[in-house]
């Protein structure tokens, strides 16, 4: 087996999984740089990785590549007390409006700081739910629209 010399002069075997020895908070920061769907698949690597993704500080969900049921399952398992960034990409509204409201509410329940909503390639009108206007955790809000979105007058 190959050996690798470490900076502190300890010799370790080449087959040792060094990344799994990192603290969860470091692993979660690393997982933020890949799509959430891929981060979730890391839970298959080993028991050590099973729940690491559940508290990543940033989450991005694409309803075009995931079913509503899959997004619901992801958000049910997501346990971060505070979410730095929540990005939701919605390419079809048909049948998803109640889900979208629930997903936004879920992000807000995690005290999301940066909320990004992309409503793309559809022509259904969407009204942001009333609870949307009652949060103080937002530091940044980005909404991308390909159509009209009704916004509460008090929010303008």
pLDDT of residue 153: 66
* Residue pLDDT, tens place only, 79-128: 998 899 999 988 876 677 888 889 999 898 899 999 999 887 666 677 88
Residue range 25-35: mean pLDDT, rounded: 92
Provide the whole-model pTM. Answer: 0.77
| Residue ranges with strand state E in 3-156 | 3-5, 11-13, 58-62, 85-90, 114-119, 126-127, 140-145, 149-150
Is 115 in contact with 142 (CB distance < 8 Å)?
A: yes
Is 113 in contact with 139 (CB distance < 8 Å)?
A: yes
Helix 68-77, helix 97-109: angle, nearest 10: 20
Q: Report the C-alpha gap between 53 and 64 in whole angstroms.
A: 21
Q: Domain residue spans in the chain?
A: 16-56, 57-156
CB atoms within 10 A of CB 22: 13
* Residue pLDDT, tens place only, 50-84: 899 999 999 999 887 788 888 999 999 999 988 99
């Amino acid at each position: 087996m190959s050996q690798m010399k470490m900076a502190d002069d300890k010799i370790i075997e080449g087959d040792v999984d060094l990344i799994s020895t990192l603290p969860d908070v470091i692993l979660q920061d690393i997982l933020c740089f890949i799509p959430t769907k891929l981060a979730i698949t890391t839970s298959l690597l080993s028991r050590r990785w099973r729940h690491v993704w559940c508290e990543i500080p940033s989450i991005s969900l694409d309803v075009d590549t995931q079913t509503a049921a899959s997004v619901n399952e992801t958000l049910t398992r997501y346990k971060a007390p505070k979410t730095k960034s929540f990005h939701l990409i919605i390419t079809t509204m048909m049948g998803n409006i109640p889900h979208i409201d629930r997903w936004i509410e879920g992000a807000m329940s995690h005290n999301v700081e940066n909320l990004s909503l992309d409503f793309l390639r559809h022509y259904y009108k969407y009204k942001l739910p009333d609870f949307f206007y009652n949060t103080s955790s937002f530091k940044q809000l980005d909404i991308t629209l390909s159509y009209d979105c009704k916004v509460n007058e008090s929010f303008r």
